[in-house]
Amino acid sequence: MADLERIRLVLLGGAGVGKSSIVKRFLFKSYTDKYRATVEDLYNREYDLGGVTLKVDILDTSGDMQFPAMRRLSIATAHAFMLVYATTSAPSFQCVKQCFEEIREQRADFQDIPIVIAGNKADLATTHREVRQEEVTDWVFCELPRLRAKVVECSAKEDTNVTELFKTLLSLSRYLPASSSSVGPGAASVEPAPSGFKRRSSAYVSASSSRNKNRMNSPSVSGDKKSSLVDAVDVASTSAEAKLKPRSRSLIRRASRKTKQQINNASDDCNLQ
């Protein structure tokens, strides 16, 4: 039976930056120009990573601050974050900075959490750019502590680098090597190199029972072979004990008889004068 792993990706960012458009483009290959404010949408997908079934929860959060309790809960339960801003809006980048500060305040392990900073609306950047990618990169790698993070510009409208966003998150989560094949929505098959897959950190939820069983198996000896070897050793030990116990008792009886005879002889010798 394949191992079961689970990861929750949480999208944070200001209103109207395109968080929902990114998710729907990735999952359903669809896009619409109509804007609808999101309260909270949760999507579930499964992926086959070569013997390991990865369950991915994608949580699309609200862009405003009307639901602080929901926001805190989404940050507390996340295994990875996608912080989305619009390349055409400088205030949206400030909102991303605020989102990161909330993560840093609530999560003591923030340096170990995979984070992708996504600059959406790259298709409009040539004429309406307000946030340069170099500015975001300098903020992430120069001003902040060392993070497991990457900056990627994308366009949900033109389907540019959308799949790359999610592939990067899985790569930062150490589920996929950086050079693995692309990830598609809905029961997609991803076959990374054997050395590319690693277990997730302690922050991640997984089927620990099956994982511990696999850890007990030696890589050079299969489970059936190992159990048969153990059984053989146990049987050999049991049979050896079974043979030794009667033999040891007989030796004790013989020794006791000899001792009694010696004592009787000694007593007879003492009585003879």
The pair of structure tokens assigned to 10 is 């949480």
Backbone angles phi, psi at 2, to 5 degrees: -70, 150
pLDDT one-digit tens code per residue, 200-226 = 333 333 333 444 444 444 333 333 433
Size (the chain), residues: 273
- B/e letters for 92-121, b = 16+ CB within 10 Å, e = fewer, are bbebbeebbeebeeebeebeebbbbbbbbb
Cβ atoms of residues 94 and 117 within 8 Å: no
What are the beta bridge partners of residue 9? 58, 80
Please give the DSSP secondary-structure letter assigned to residue 136: H
What confidence score (pLDDT) does residue 99 get? 95
Alpha-carbon gap, residue 232 to 229, rounded angstroms:
5
Q: Give the residues of the chain that fall short of pLDDT 50.
A: 1, 180-249, 251-252, 266-273
CATH number of 3-216: 3.40.50.300
What confidence score (pLDDT) does residue 260 get? 53
**Residue 86, number of CB atoms within 10 A of its CB:** 27
> Could you tell me whether strands 40-48 and 3-13 are parallel, antiparallel, or unpaired per DSSP bridges?
unpaired
Check: pTM over 0.75? Answer yes or no. Answer: no
- Domain residue ranges in the chain: 3-216, 221-273
Alpha-carbon gap, residue 68 to 186, rounded angstroms:
31
Picking from 170, 149, 174, the residue whose alpha carbon sits closest to that of residue 58 is: 170
